[in-house]
Amino acid sequence: MPSSKTPTKSTSSSSHHKQAASRAKSHASDETPDAIELLTQDHKEVKKLFKAYEKLVKDEAEGSEKQELANQICTMLVVHTTIEEEIFYPAAREALPEQDLLDEAVVEHASAKSLIEQIQSMSPEDELYDAKVTVLGEYIDHHVKEEEAELFPQVKKAKLDLEQLGEEMAERKLQCESEAEQATH
């Protein structure tokens, strides 16, 4: 059976989000990635955004370009951490006997959220702006490697319904993206 799993792209069009939400509800079992696939897609997308930011810094791009991309990164990470903390981590806690990786992930999220708040309250012209975005990328890279190499394999072995979890997470992700879009207008 062909699958049409494609990563969700952020746009400023609210009609896009409404159409995506409608598709997600009407074809959830056919098109929605499982929980781990959804998180892994996010990881790949944010890694590309951090690489694009590095290029902007190297090319000495305008502050407005850097700020727009940094805001996109921060928004994506806020949405991602929300669905992990509200849905994925609680389910993993119930299914896994060992909690250390989940505890570490929560601490890593707190560090990332602190940097996100700092970045969002700054201007690209401020001292340490680029450094903070770079360090955030390094934190996220470490976090992603740990999740994908250690946590996700444990979760796959557990008796979790990753399809159902993925549907819940995809629905919450759309809601968070919509809320974030409304907050910027």
Confidence of residue 29 (pLDDT cuts 50, 70, 90): very low
Domains contained in the chain, CATH given:
34-183 (1.20.120.520)
Do the Cβ atoms of 173 and 38 come closer than 8 Å?
yes
Mean pLDDT of the chain: 86
Q: Does residue 29 or residue 80 have the better pLDDT?
A: 80
Task: Kindly state the average pLDDT of the residues 44-58.
Answer: 97
Q: Does residue 31 or residue 88 have the better pLDDT?
A: 88
pLDDT value of residue 42: 97
- Compute the distance between CA of residue 142 and CA of residue 126 in angstroms, rounded to an integer: 26
